[in-house]
């Protein structure tokens, strides 16, 4: 960050959303510590990012505070009552201290009371049956359908919660956290959150959650906040990881053959490698509690660090052939699920989806070829890398 390097991270560069990894590589090599126009410090190297994720000297940023600071101008001259801060008030990945610890324990107990092995296996069978007669297929749609099936079984959605509406709700919830969001988009997100208040049933997941949180001074909006983030986090990262993984496997005959012949141990290895490679969460934020020094550079307390997780997961200092999927990579310290106190609570479930779903899905999808006439379509999101469309057709 000496001002001499002309290499700068720029999400508005042509083709950035199609493939951000070349600029990540240049940043790692030539300008690994950058300061953006908002005063944030951007980090791109694994050796800088991993210790911060694991350290108790850093906190997560407050999404509620972020929205409250923006609402005055986002909704200026608008009669609409902003709801974003309330809706996101109990999003686990933006909480610190005792409330984070207690809520994490309670939510963990609820999540792991479900038989996800069975739910995932049932969802695979249902998805294969549903798409059995398709001559062409969107891998993103296939992945969404699979995740929606699991989601409906464990979280409990009311009858009006159609597949299309839940997909829209989840995507808008994810986009609410992104860096550059227009006023009109915030209004759409706010409306969607208001609509979603009636989305969840009172039984099942919510009932278990209320029981585990007995004694907490939680309001109805607090429970809704937890339900909303559970749906979004479960849906978005899972479908993004799965869709890109399936596309990568079908694009590579040797990788496809590996998966088709893999035993359970080999499936676990290739699944972990695909999670590293896809890295649906591209960035996360940490705030320093105290003054910190990184490679001789001094940063004050309360500095906001934007950590390039996806860049770290392709760091050539850590990973051999980082831009390739090496299916039997045995040493794989990737950061796709974060680390430390905020290690992703759904990491085990994400791994189970791949463990029980990947091989039977590839067995079904091997009758399709990548449709080279229809290029991949990517969403314009910075913090989450989202594949919008990936077409295959029967061969």
Q: What is the pLDDT of residues 331-357, one digit of tens each?
A: 999 999 999 999 998 898 999 999 999
| pLDDT exceeds 60 at position 1 | no
| pLDDT (0 to 100) of residue 201 | 83
| pLDDT (0 to 100) of residue 66 | 78
| pLDDT (0 to 100) of residue 19 | 95
**Average per-residue pLDDT for the chain:** 91
Q: Which residue has the higher pLDDT, 392 or 185?
A: 392
| pLDDT (0 to 100) of residue 356 | 94
**How deeply is 126 buried, as exposed, middle or buried, from its count of CB atoms within 10 A (0-12, 13-18, 19+)?**
middle
| pLDDT exceeds 60 at position 3 | no
Q: Which domains does the chain have, with CATH numbers?
A: 21-394 (1.10.630.10)
Chain centroid to Cα 86, Å, comes to 21
Structure tokens at 7: 């290499």
Residue 208 banded pLDDT, cuts 50, 70, 90: very high
Tell me: the pLDDT tens digits for 225-255?
999 999 999 999 899 999 999 999 999 999 9
Structure tokens at 286: 């940490």
Q: What is the pTM of this model?
A: 0.92
Structure tokens at 121: 């296996």
Return all residues near 205 (Cβ < 8 A) that are at least 6 apart. Answer: 110, 154, 155, 156, 227, 230
Mean pLDDT of 287-301: 94
Q: DSSP per residue over 306-350, as a string?
A: EEEHHHHTT-TTTSSSTTS--TT-------TT--GGG--TTHHHH
Mean pLDDT of 88-114: 92
Mean pLDDT of 185-190: 86
Q: pLDDT exceeding 90 applies to what percent of the chain? A: 71
| pLDDT (0 to 100) of residue 37 | 84
Residue 266 banded pLDDT, cuts 50, 70, 90: very high
Residue 307 is given by DSSP the state E
| pLDDT (0 to 100) of residue 186 | 85
Sole residue written with tokens 């907490």: 216
Range in 90-104, 137-151, 183-197 the model is least confident about = 183-197
| pLDDT (0 to 100) of residue 179 | 78
Mean pLDDT of 39-52: 96
| pLDDT (0 to 100) of residue 153 | 85
Q: Work out the number of other CB atoms within 10 angstroms of the CB of residue 93.
A: 18
Q: Rounded to whole angstroms, how far apart are CA atoms 103 and 271?
A: 29
In order of 131, 240, 250, 301, 369, the CA distances from 125 in angstroms are 10, 20, 20, 52, 21
Q: Rounded to whole angstroms, how far apart are CA atoms 84 and 193?
A: 8
Residue 375 banded pLDDT, cuts 50, 70, 90: very high
Mean pLDDT of 83-111: 90
Residue 81 banded pLDDT, cuts 50, 70, 90: low
**Cβ proximity of 41 and 304 under 8 Å:** yes
391-394/368-370 β-pairing: antiparallel
Tell me: the pLDDT tens digits for 122-144?
999 999 999 999 999 999 999 99
| pLDDT (0 to 100) of residue 258 | 97
Residue 80 banded pLDDT, cuts 50, 70, 90: low
């Amino acid at each position: 960050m000496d001002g001499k390097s002309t290499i700068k991270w720029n999400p508005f560069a042509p083709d950035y959303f199609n493939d951000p990894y070349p600029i990540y590589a240049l940043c790692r090599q030539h300008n690994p510590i950058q300061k953006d126009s908002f005063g944030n410090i951007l980090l791109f190297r694994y050796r800088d990012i991993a210790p911060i994720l694991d350290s108790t000297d850093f906190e997560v940023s407050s999404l509620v505070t972020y929205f409250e600071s923006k609402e005055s101008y986002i909704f200026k001259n608008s009669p609409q009552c902003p709801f974003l801060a309330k809706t996101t008030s109990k999003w686990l990945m933006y909480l610190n201290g005792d409330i984070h610890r207690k809520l994490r324990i309670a939510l963990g107990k609820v999540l792991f009371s479900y038989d996800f092995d069975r739910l995932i296996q049932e969802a695979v069978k249902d998805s294969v049956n549903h798409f059995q007669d398709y001559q062409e297929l969107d891998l993103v749609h296939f992945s969404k359908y699979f995740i929606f099936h699991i989601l409906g079984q464990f979280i409990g959605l009311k009858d009006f919660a159609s597949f299309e509406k839940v997909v829209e709700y989840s995507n808008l919830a994810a986009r609410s956290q992104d860096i550059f969001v227009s006023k009109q988009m915030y209004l759409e997100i706010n409306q969607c959150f208001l609509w979603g208040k009636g989305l969840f049933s009172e039984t099942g997941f919510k009932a278990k959650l209320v029981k585990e949180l007995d004694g907490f001074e939680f309001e109805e909006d607090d429970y809704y906040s937890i339900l909303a983030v559970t749906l979004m986090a479960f849906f978005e990262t899972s479908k993004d990881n799965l869709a890109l993984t399936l596309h990568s496997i079908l694009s590579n005959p040797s990788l496809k053959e590996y998966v088709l012949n893999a035993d359970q141990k080999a499936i676990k290895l290739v699944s972990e490698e695909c999670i590293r490679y896809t890295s649906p969460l591209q960035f996360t934020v940490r705030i320093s509690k105290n003054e910190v020094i990184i490679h001789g550079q001094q940063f004050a307390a309360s500095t906001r660090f934007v950590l390039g997780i996806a860049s770290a997961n392709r760091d050539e200092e850590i990973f051999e052939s980082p831009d390739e999927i090496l299916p039997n990579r045995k040493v794989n310290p990737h950061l796709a699920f974060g680390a430390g106190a905020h290690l992703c609570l759904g990491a085990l479930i994400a791994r189970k989806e791949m463990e029980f779903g990947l091989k039977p899905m590839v067995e079904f999808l091997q009758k399709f070829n990548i449709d080279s006439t229809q290029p991949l379509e990517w969403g314009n999101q910075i913090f989450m890398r989202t594949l919008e469309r990936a077409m295959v057709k029967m061969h």
